[in-house]
Structure 1
Amino acid sequence: MNNEKWKAKLVSSSLPLEYEILKALVLQGFAVNSDYTYQRDEQGILKDFSVDIEATAYFLNSNKITASLDLLIECKQRKKNTKWLFFPDPNLSDFSPITLGYTLRCIDEFSPTTLSTNVAIKFDKKFNACIKGIEIDINDGNVYDSELRHGIYQLKYALPRLLVKLSLHNIFSNHLNDNKPFLLCPILLTNAELFVAKREINVSLVENAEQLKDIAEPVPWLMLYSDYGPDFKMHCKRIFQNSLSGILSTQEVKNLDVLRKKHGEDDFMLPSSIFNSLIKCDRFTFSRYFTQFVICSKDRFSDFTKNIKQISSGAIKKKKVEKM
C-alpha cells in the first residue's frame, strides 16, 4: 500500500473525524463516550450496532447538577468536493409534519422540574427545516442518498435505548426531588458542504444551472425531518415492552405522577402515561422523540455546540421546581 492509499483509507474510515470531534466536545465541557451501542433485530437475531459518539454536558448551580444536555452524534467522512443538498419543507405551517421545539428535546416529564420549552421553539425557528436530502459528488457526477439515510437510521434506532437509559436512571437513581431533567439532540455530522435548495427550485432550474450555488444556498447546519416505519415501531416495541412494562406500578413512578399532577400537569403528560404511550408506539409521542435530526457541517460544529449549550442553559435558567 503506497503512502497516499493508506492515508486516504484512514481518512475515509471516519475515525480521524470522529476523534477530532471528541476532542472538540471535551474542550466545550462535554464528557464523551465512543461507540454508543444498541441492538437491532436482523431476521430474528439480535445484533449490535453503534453510533459514533455520546456526549453529555452537565449544568451546575452551587456545585449541584441541575440538568444535562446529551448529544448523540454520527460522523460521516465524505470525499473532497462532496456536497449534501437538502430540500426545504414545502408545506404551510399548519400542515407541516415538523413541530417547532422537537429538535432539541427538553425532557422534564420524569423529574419534578419543568423546563421552558419556548427556548427550544426559538432554537428550531433558526433552522432551515428540510424533508429530503441527497449527496452529490461534484468530481464524478454521482448522486445518491445511501450514506445520508444510513446515518439518520443509525441515530433513529439508537434513540429509544438512550431515552430509556436517561429516564430510568433519573427516576430510580435519585430521591424524587433530586431527579434532573435532560435535553437530548441527535446530530449527523459531516465534512461535506451543506446546501439547502432555493424554494423556487424545479427541474428546469436544475438543468440550466452552471453550479450548485445557482439552485441552493450554503448553510452551517439544518434540521431534517425523517419519519419512521413499521420496522422502527417493532424495534421500539421490543425495547419499551422489555424496559418499561414492569415499572409502571413502582412507587417511584407513582410518586412522580402524584407530584406532577398536583402541580397542574395534564394526565397525558404524566410519566406513567408517557411510558404507556411509548409501549403502545403512540404517534404523538414517537413524533416528538424520533423524527427530527440536526445535520451539521464539521467546520461549524464548534459554533453549533456553543449555540445549543447556550440555548439549553436558557431553558434550565427558566425552570420551575415543584416540591412534594
Structure 2
Amino acid sequence: MEKTNNVTEFVFWGLSQNLEVEEVCFVVFSFFYTVILLGNLLIILTVYVGHLFKSPMYFFLNYLSFVDICYSSVTAPKMIVDLLAKSKTISYVGCMLQLFGVHFFGCTEIFILTVMAYDRYVAICKPLHYMTIMDRDRCNKMLLGTWVGGFAHSIIQVALVVQLPFCGPNEIDHYFCDVHPVLKLACTDTYVVGVVVTANSGTIALGSFVTLLISYTVILVSLRKQSAEGRRKALSTCGSHIAVVIIFFGPCTFMYMRPDTTFSEDKMVAVFYTIITPMLNPLIYTLRNAEVKNAMKKLWGRRVLWEANGK
C-alpha cells in the first residue's frame, strides 16, 4: 500500500477545554517548569563546583539531572504556551521530533536509574572492590550505553510511526505527541505496529524495573551485615533512589505496559512522569543526601564570601 499523508500538522486538545482551568494550569506548570530548571541546574552546578563527579554516584546523578531538564523541555514549554493559545497546533515534523525526544530522554533516564542501582549494589555489597569496578573508564562506557540504548529505542518508535499514512482527522487528545494517541489517527490498521510498540517499550520498562527491584532487594538483604551507621547511610542513599524509581516507573508502566489503547486518565499520568518526576528528583536527592547538602552549603558559602570580598 502506497503511503498517503495529507496531514501537515496536528491539533492538540490539551489538558482541558475549560479556559479558567487552563489559566490556573498555566501558572502552576510555569512554576513547576521553573523549579525543574533551577533544581536540576543547582545539582549540576553543585556536583561540578564541589568536584563530586569524581564519585561514580554523583557522576551519574549529574547526568540524570541533565536528562531531566531535556526530558521535561521536550513537552513542558509547548504545553505551557498552548494553555493560553486558541489554536494548539504542531507540525507533522515537529510532532515526530517531539515523539523522538520524549522516548529518547525517557528511555535514557530509565537506563541511568538502572546504572545508578548497579553503582549502589557495588558500593554496598563489594565495597573493597568499588573503585576498581566503577572506575572512570567503565562509568563512561556505561553512560555511553544509556545514550545509545535510548537512541535505539526512540528510533524504533519513530520509524514505526513515520511509515504510517495520515489522512485525517488530525486532532490528538493529548498535550504532546506520544505513540498511542498518534497511532489512533493513522488511516490504516495499526494492530501490528501497536503490538511492536508495546513490546518495545514494555520490555525496557518491565526489564529495567525488575532489574532495579532485584538490585535493591539484594542491597537491603546485604545491609543486615553492616554496622548501624553503615546501614543508616546506605538506607539514606538507597531510599532516595527507590523513591525516584517508584514515582517514575509507576506511571510509565501504566502507560506503556498495555495494548494500543488510550484512557482519559493518560494525560494526568503523563504529567506525572514528564513534569512532576523531573521536578521531584532534585528535591529527593538533595533532602536525603547529606553529601549533596554539604556541597551546596559550601557552594553558597563560597558565593557569599566572594560577594563580601567584592564589596
Flag whether TM exceeds 0.5 (same fold).
no
Please identify which structure carries the higher helix content.
Answer: 2
With a CA cutoff of 8 Å and minimum separation of 6, indicate the structure with the bigger relative contact order.
2
Please identify which structure carries the higher strand content.
Answer: 1
